[in-house]
Chain A
């Protein structure tokens, strides 16, 4: 949800909770304590990994922000594999998706740093680098998620076909 939740996939929500009322917001938070906790834990792990990557592969101000681009692209590829696995192939514990999808991957990837890095490049007189970074991140991220989803489905289909053959 932060939202690994494509609206096309039905998700169990609490129809009796009206989140427009502040009091019920609190109730919802309490009722969802475990989910919120694993999202927080996953987010902390994902963000730490991103911070670690930025310390190992530092990019100088004014230069192309490769580290953030790669972090975002990797996160997009992993979410593609993960979502196909848990929505089309495996049935997993209800906390797996909030922990890993919403928490770890959501915490690992970032949209705000992406946007601010573009602003910084433009403000620093590197408008062309900023524009290239804007476009290349978008292309890489979308290609990564699309490729990951397709390959995972294909691998799953092959495995399934293999099982059919054996049982026949």
Chain B
């Protein structure tokens, strides 16, 4: 039964990443991979919220498997993040490559802390 929650969450999260990435990439004309950045940031925020909720006992293990392992896990990606970074280096955009790594990690962590903070305010 646990697997079902992971499968369902991922079956929503992965297409969401695909559609969000397309939509974001169409709106600008830079080489910076804003699409992947956006989904990774969103996933970090939601998983931060969920982590805070779980700590406060407000999220059941099923909800955690569905939203966390499934949805947020599939919404966010490390493979595309690192591949796009490599492509930036190969394309001569070293500054953007370094910026992508730095901004993704810093903003991702910021989003997690914000999510945890909001969850603590709501449920603790």
Please encode chain B, from 47 to 64, with 1 for each CB lying within 8 Å of some chain A CB and 0 for all others: 110010000000000000
In the assembled complex, the Cα of A109 lies from the Cα of B36 at a distance in Å of: 13
**Chain A residues whose C-beta falls within 8 Å of the C-beta of B26 in the assembled complex:** 13, 19-20
Cβ contacts under 8 Å, A36 to chain B: 15, 18-19
| Closest beta carbon of chain A to B79's beta carbon, Å | 4
8 A Cβ contacts from B76-97 to A: 76-87, 90-91
Number of interface residues, chain B, beta carbon within 8 A: 65
Q: How far apart are the CA atoms of A98 and B51 in the complex, in Å? A: 30
**Chain B residue at smallest Cβ distance from A108:** B79
CA–CA, A116 and B78, complex, Å = 14
Residues of A within 8 A of B65 (CB): 51
Q: Is chain A's interface secondary structure helix, strand, loop, or mixed overall? A: helix
Say whether B105 contacts A110, CB under 8 Å: no
Q: Name 21 interchain pairs, CB-CB below 8 A, sorted by A.
A: A1-B18, A2-B20, A3-B35, A4-B80, A13-B26, A19-B27, A36-B15, A36-B18, A39-B17, A40-B11, A72-B78, A75-B79, A79-B80, A106-B74, A110-B76, A111-B76, A113-B73, A116-B47, A123-B116, A138-B101, A145-B82
Interface residues in chain B, defined as those with a beta carbon under 8 Å from any beta carbon in chain A: 2-3, 6-15, 17-23, 25-27, 31, 33, 35-36, 39-40, 43-44, 46-48, 51, 65, 68-70, 72-87, 90-91, 101, 104-105, 108-109, 111-113, 116
